[in-house]
Each structure stands twice: as C-alpha cells, then as structure tokens.
Structure 1
C-alpha cells in the first residue's frame, strides 16, 4: 500500500512528510534554528500540540516559549508537574495534601497547600521531585472523555471545583491530561512531556509559595519581586469571594442556576460603594491632600471610579474637580516616536510635564489658572476658558496612566498627593488548579467597549492588545507600589454579563485571521459561564462603562 506524503510549508520552504509524522519530530528537526524551546505549532493558523500528527497539507509555524501561547503552555505544564510532585510527596509522607493555585504574582503563580505547611525543607523536596520527573521525561498524555465521565472522575478524586465546573458544560467531551496515573483538567494546551519543563523555581511567600517561571530569558527563572500591596488586595478579594461562597466559575454558575445572582450583584456593588466611601473618608481626613492621582492599566474602570469617588468626596464636604492628564498632551507634531516611527502617546514625554507642574503649583498656591483641553481630532492643545482656583475644600482628581510616576508631578509636595492604583483583579478562579488571568477580563471589557463606543472590531482590539500590554509593563506596573491605595475594580459577576456582549464580536473573526487563535481561546473561556442579564446592574456601576447605560459621561 502506497504511503501518503504531504507537502508542508515551513519558514517559506516546502518540505515533504509522511502522513502521521508527529509535529514533535518536525519540531526537533528545526529546534537548532531556534534560541527558545518549541512547545506548540500553528498548522494552517490552528494551534496544535506537538503530540498531534500531520494529516494534510498546509503551513506550519513553530511556537516557542517566548511566544504568548507557548509561554502559557509552559506555565500550565510546569503547574501540572508541581501538582504531580505534591501528590507524590503526600503519598510518600502518608498525608492528605493538595495544592491550590491561587493567582498570578510577579512572574509566577502563588500557591497554597491544604493539609501541610510549605516550609523551606518541604519546598526543597518538592523542587527535587519536580526535577526528577523532568529528567525522567515522562509523557504528558491527553485523552478525551465524556463530560459525564469527567464529572464522576473529579468527584471521585475530590476535585469538587472541577466537578461543579463541568456540571454546566455544554460540550459532550472534555480533554484531560495525565502524568502517569495522576490526572487533571487544564484550560489550554500543554507541553508533550516533562522533559520540556526544566526552568522554574519555588519561592516561599506569606503562608504559601510561588512557582516562578522564566520571563525574557526563557532558560532562567525570573527573579521573585513581589508587590506586597497588590498581593494583599488579591488576597482580600479572594477571601471576600470565599465568604460569598463564590470563588470559582462553577460556584458563580450555581448562583445563576439557583436564582441567587441578583443578590450577588447587589452585594458586590454595595461592597464596592462602601470601599469608595471609605476611601473618600480617608481623603477628607487629610486636608493637606489636594491632588488625588489615579492610574491603572487599560479597562480598569478609571473614569467611572473617579466619578464615583468624586461623588463620595462631595458627600464628605469636599469640592472635587476632575482633570484628565490627557489634556496635557503635547501637540501631536511634538509627540515622541517609537522604534517603528509611530507616535508614542503612552510615554511620559508625550505629556507637557513643565506646563502641568506650572499649572498645578499655581493652583496649590491658590492662584487662578486656565487649564488646557486637548483636541484629539486636530492633535493640538486648546484653551476654552476652563478656569480653576483651589479653595479650602477644593481638591483635584487627576486620572491618567502616569499618575503614579513621581517624574510627572516632581514639583508638587508629596504631602499634597494621594496616589491610587486601580486595576480589575478578578476574584474568580476557573477551578482549584486553573486561575483566571486578570488580563483576560480586562481585554474582554475593552473589546466590548471598543465595539460600542469606538467602532473598533474585536479583531482590532486583539491585534493591539500586546502593544497595550507592553505600554502597561513599561509605564504603569513599575510604579504600582508607589500608590498609597490599591483599588480592585473587578466585579465577581461581570464576566457572566460580558459574555453575551463579547461572544457575537468574537464569532465575527475570520478563521484565517492571525487573531482567530486568541478569539477561539476566549470563546472557549466564556463558554464556562452561564449568562447573566444586565437589567439589575446599577447605572453607576463600573461595568456600565463597558456595556453602556452609565449615568456618567464615559
């Protein structure tokens, strides 16, 4: 019988491979040409694991651990390796010990042990066991089983978060992974074997530990540099979710199915309003604070937050005046350019720092100042008679990405500033071993708002997201610990509401577009949620900034 041979295009070259050739074999052939380890492939614009085999003709692109999809697969696989190692040690010690992957921190995942304390001696053993299995190069097997069988499997394994998650699954099949006899479910693709997973570190932190992954140098674990303030905000949010008995998507779906979601919405909004009110009280108790400076990454709800904070400050007898730092942009022709020759509107130098400091210093002295307005259509600064003068109870609320950078407000006394970092740090996890990336929530928020307000398609939002993230990593995240206050704008129910707005936008993305892989991933992610209608959401909710219907001009 004649063997079938397919023509595969790789790096612009046509190659011939037998039907059934594993992608892992082809990747090994090309690995010497790549500095970073190949962990996945794109075949005809479809992401594929290396265990898959050639079944037809097309174009093959290698995905390394430096690429976004490859980096996620590597982290996911190391996490699975860590879980198996915890299981092995528990068996050796005769203990009932499990591990929970809580949330991202630094370049790693913060984890907690249930049933033991991760002291240095334990972590040393855990790392040694992980390295032993990595050297052994154990295959990471994948198997598709029925959803009903998956529910029973995880019930019998004591993984009740997964049992609950899959009880709402529409799909009839579930993909599960195994390292030897240890089986689990993961949201996304995996490396083909443990031999790929040699670069990680375990760091003790608080009452748990952090699994650290490589960053730019993909063969060296990143240095552990935690943000203690951010960690405690994350922990506070997670504890509140557990108090509400909604720590996972499955638990949220329970609330929807049982008709409790309206109460969840009301409590979540009430909690946020209480936090904003407490913050306003804090500001009012410090009369020397004249500048409330708000910064945070894209789609954190900064605009609605500043409005709600202003209202609460008014209730405290203050007179807040919102100022957008964007109004201090230099004229477009004077805007610095990036390495590609495009205007860099996100760098600090895109703002007229001298004019900003002149105006703010004059206001602090009690002088009358006419403030500029930036015309985004013409790219020029304009003056329209907006005059401010600070009295005893007046306070300026400044919102912009550089609000926490001391270089922006270098001439203002630190005692006159209160800095607030705001971000949407979701309290939910998919289950006990799959955390929910906060960046996914923000991207979905932005996608919905872009389509509604800016006539920007989901395809365009996805295409620009990596650039947005680079700007955040350069201009926002390094200054987050400068904040006096960190505020979490995520609402525990929001993704179930955003689902109905985002899914039609994602389905519009053509399968041949480069953005389709990410769209498919997000659609799979949103499929976990039961939908929640928006009728019961208050008009002043931060979520209204994205889905529409806000009482504020956002």
Structure 2
C-alpha cells in the first residue's frame, strides 16, 4: 500500500494513504491511545493539515504537516458550535422525519431553530428532542466524513425534506458531495465537525418566542458552563422582520439566490431588496420626525455595518420631511495615538471610548443643540492629527444632527445631554439568508468579507493584514459596541440578500493571495473560500449607485470611501 509522510514539529513518519487525521495524531503521539477524550480536559478535536482545519475523521491522501487543534481554542469552539447544531438536526430527523427543521440565526449565546410548518412546537417536544440529543452524547458515537455521488445526495436530501440543501447542491455540478454521517443520518457541514458525540457536553435547548427553540452554547469567557440566559428581544425583532422580508423576496437560502442568477431574474430581485431597505430607512426617519424634541440621531454598529452610507440615506429621508441635517463623525474626535489608552499588547486601543476627545465632543454637542455656531474638527488619518473645518455650522429649529460612530449607544458619550433630545439607531449586517436548511451564513463572516473588499480598495490593504487585524476588531466590538446595542431606540439590518454574489468576485482573488505561511489568517482565508465556492457571482453593474453595498465595492453616489 502506498505510504504518505506525516510531519509535526517534532517528528516525521509514514502512514498508509487513507489514514485518518486521528490515526496520524495517535501515531505522532499528539494523542495517546489510552486517552478517553473529555470535554473538560480541553482535548484535541481536529487538526491543521497543511495549515487547513480538518476533522479527526478526515482521510489523508497526500504528504502533509499536522498540528493538533484543541476544543477551547478559537477553531475548536467553532467546530463545537457547528457540531451541536448537527446533533440537534440529527435528533430531530430521528424523531420527526417528515418535518423540516430550519436554522434561523445566532442570538447572543445560541442559535434559533424553528420548524417550517404550521404545527405548534410544544415544550414537551423540546424536552423530547433534548433527551434524544443527550442519549446520542452518552453513547459517544462516531461522526464520520463520507462522500455521496451527486445524484444520490440530491435524492437523499429531497426525500428527507432538506429542500434548501437540495436546492444549493443543484446549482453546482461537483461529481460527489462531502457529508457527515451519524448512524444513519447524513447532512452537510461547511465547517469541520467533532468526530465523537461524547465531546458535546455543554449546551441547552430551550423554548424561545412563539414557535422556536434556542440551542445555547458556552461563551468564550466561560467555556466550562453556560451563562445565565439574557434575552435580546430587540435583536430578535429585527431578525423576525427581515425573515418576513425574505418571504416577500421569496429567497431564504443561497440555493434560491443562485437559481435567480441562473434564470437571469436577479435584477428584479436586487431592485426589490433595495426598495425594502429604503422603506425601512424611510420608516426610521418618520419615527424620528414624530419626536419633536429630537435634536441628534446617534448611529452606531460594528465594523463594516454600513454606518456611513446609512447616515447619508437617513439624512435624505429627513430632508424629505422638511428637516435640515448636519453630519458629525466621531472619528473626527480621535486623540493622537500617543494620547489613546493602551491595550493588552501596549498598543493604542483606538476602539476604546477614551480614544476620542470626549470632553471636546460633549462641549461641541451641547453648543450645537443650544443653537451656537461650532467649527467641527476633522481628523487626518495620514498625519494622525486634528484640523478644523473652514466654516462653522449652526442648528436652527429644523436641524437634526446625524452623529455616526461606534460609541453612539454608549451612555457615557452623551451623559451631559438631555436624553429626550437623542434618538439612537443601531445598525449591523444581520444576514437572514441561510446556506441551506441547517447551515447559517455567519453575520461576522459577512462583515469580514465586506471589510476585506473595502480595505483593499480604499487603503490597498491585503487580505492577510485585514484578517490578522480582525481578532482585535472583534475584541473591540465585544467590549465597546455589543454590550450597548439594546440602548438603541431602533435597530436596522444593513445586509442585502444579494450582496454575497457581488462581493464574492472581489473577495476570492484577495483570499487566494493568503499563503500557508500567514498562520491563522490562512485558515480563515481557506474557510471563507470554501464558503464562497457556494456563491454564484452577480455583476456589480446591477448594484444601484446609492446602494449601501457601494460603500464597500466603490462607485457610491455619496462619494463614500
């Protein structure tokens, strides 16, 4: 039998071709034969094979380097969360083979699931599902990677009511389809899974809202147990609204979007998606207009949520209602890097509230609301210094300030201002589109792809640099943005259901330039590329000039960069 060479940092050995990752980990001594993996022992649950994350059940077919991946690391936690979703879908398939379970979205520390039928989901049903999942965990069953011929895979998913999965596969033509198998249950996972059910010890399945259930997982800061449940009804309401819009658009998953492109009907879909988003912005302007006391609208959200374009579009809608608008960017109040607070690596923490000149901002805001003229600052990101506009601005009775920046929901930003004069809008790209029935499109990945494209276009930044910087961006969001999102008067979803088809042709060449030597950025690039392989391209010429998406691909009529 042909041999392949396996190498880790300490040794090199030969194994028969077709050996699994687990075989290699055992042979190299990274995992001991006597080990009985336990969740709380932070076991090795996968490996970087030639720097790409793979399940322990993956067969090795060529020479490779290998590095174990532990459960409590960032990659291990991703595997765990995908695996408990797979476990839930398997249990439901065993109990209710004729019902279609659909993943909805992430909500705090969990994923929302519901059945796509008119039958009521009882608490007793959720208890039964949870008990079945626990029984599968207790049996410590293997989860294996398998491949099915294209036609056989399509037939399996259609017979088992996995409509969106069948639809997605049907828009591609690979000869075989890679699946994971747990006993007789087969399903796709677009990221590697754990190879044993016994590792899935910490989760909770609970009823949520009227017809759904929430599958909760441990947070990164407390990996050993679940935090007390904290509801986020405002965020759920946004997802519910956009799910309803998905019904209007008649597209809930990526396969349906691909089919529209194949039928040359995507242009009408784009117009409808843009019109729905514009209607939402118009409705927000109406709500602001109702409150005569409002003098300033604060807009905040995480990186690449489209704050700048939204601010422009909201200003237009307010002007339609007879308002004057003055735009203020918190970025223009940055202190110099030398004055900014330091992070754990002793670098300037530009995400912190203290990185802006809070005293000057509050002084200018108070003066503007009082009707006094103010000369606004302008921060030069090249010289890292502040200059000032040539002419002062001044509010009258019809004027509303539109203030955009990541700290807009933080009460410390405006604690010297009468709260009745403020209206807060939280914006984020909360993707309602699924990959298929059981695999969601990560809102974080969507924003990351937006940022890759924008940073390369506007700053010449390569994908490796952006991906290496992303963990720091995410830490800043977790500290300074997400904790304050429920202070908003209203939330808006900036995601456009067609945008991945436009972004993909921009992002894929950038991601392909990330090489194995790039470390963690390479694993992320490979993961995103594998995901984007499912996305059929959409011509950027179909994107309207006033679209929020133009903030990232260029060509905006607002001149946004």
Rounded to whole Å, the distance in 1 between the matches of 2:389 and 2:264 is 51
Q: In the alignment, which residue of structure 2 is the partner of 1:327?
A: 332
Number of equivalenced pairs: 547
Work out which of the residue numbers 224, 228, 234 in structure 2 matches 1:229.
234
Work out which of the residue numbers 46, 51, 56 in structure 1 matches 2:57.
51
Question: Does 1:22 pair with 2:23?
Answer: yes
Whether contact under 8 Å (1:321, 1:395) holds in the other structure is yes
Q: In the alignment, which residue of structure 1 is the partner of 2:432?
A: 427
Cα distance, 1:114–1:4 mapped onto 2, change above 3 Å: closer
What aligned pairs does 1:311-322 form with structure 2 within 5 A after superposition? 311-322=316-327
Whether contact under 8 Å (1:36, 1:218) holds in the other structure is no
Work out which of the residue numbers 391, 394, 402 in structure 2 matches 1:389.
394
Rounded to whole Å, the distance in 2 between the matches of 1:168 and 1:4 is 37
C-alpha deviations, 1:317-374, integer Å up to 9, x for none?
A: 1110001001111233211111111111110111111111111112222222222222
Deviation at 1:60, TM superposition (A): 2.9
Work out which of the residue numbers 109, 112, 115 in structure 1 matches 2:111.
109
Whether contact under 8 Å (1:145, 1:174) holds in the other structure is yes
Moved over 6 A (4+): 30-34, 54-57
Q: In the alignment, which residue of structure 1 is the partner of 2:219?
A: 215
Rounded to whole Å, the distance in 2 between the matches of 1:382 and 1:286 is 34
Unaligned runs of 5+ in 2: none
Question: SS at the partner of 2:362?
Answer: helix
Whether contact under 8 Å (1:291, 1:395) holds in the other structure is yes
Rounded to whole Å, the distance in 2 between the matches of 1:325 and 1:363 is 15
Cα distance, 1:118–1:65 mapped onto 2, change above 3 Å: farther
The TM-score normalised by the length of structure 1 is 0.94
C-alpha deviations, 1:284-309, integer Å up to 9, x for none?
A: 22221111000001111111110111
Work out which of the residue numbers 104, 120, 125 in structure 1 matches 2:123.
120
Deviation at 1:250, TM superposition (A): 0.8
Deviation at 1:429, TM superposition (A): 0.4
Unaligned runs of 5+ in 1: none
Work out which of the residue numbers 82, 85, 103 in structure 2 matches 1:79.
85
Question: Does 1:287 pair with 2:292?
Answer: yes
Q: In the alignment, which residue of structure 2 is the partner of 1:257?
A: 262
What aligned pairs does 1:121-136 form with structure 2 within 5 A after superposition? 121-136=124-139
Question: SS at the partner of 2:145?
Answer: strand
Rounded to whole Å, the distance in 2 between the matches of 1:550 and 1:114 is 38
What aligned pairs does 1:44-443 form with structure 2 within 5 A after superposition? 44-52=50-58, 59-90=65-96, 96-114=98-116, 116-206=119-209, 207-216=211-220, 217-443=222-448
Deviation at 1:458, TM superposition (A): 1.4
Cα distance, 1:517–1:89 mapped onto 2, change above 3 Å: same
Q: In the alignment, which residue of structure 1 is the partner of 2:462?
A: 457
Deviation at 1:539, TM superposition (A): 0.7
Which stretch shifts more, 378-387 or 247-256?
Answer: 378-387
Rounded to whole Å, the distance in 1 between the matches of 2:229 and 2:121 is 17
Question: SS at the partner of 1:390?
Answer: coil
The TM-score normalised by the length of structure 2 is 0.93
Which stretch shifts more, 362-371 or 82-91?
Answer: 82-91
Which stretch shifts more, 367-376 or 236-245?
Answer: 367-376
Whether contact under 8 Å (1:161, 1:250) holds in the other structure is yes
Rounded to whole Å, the distance in 2 between the matches of 1:176 and 1:7 is 25
Question: SS at the partner of 1:441?
Answer: helix
Rounded to whole Å, the distance in 2 between the matches of 1:211 and 1:33 is 18
The two structures, once aligned, show a CA RMSD in angstroms of 2.2
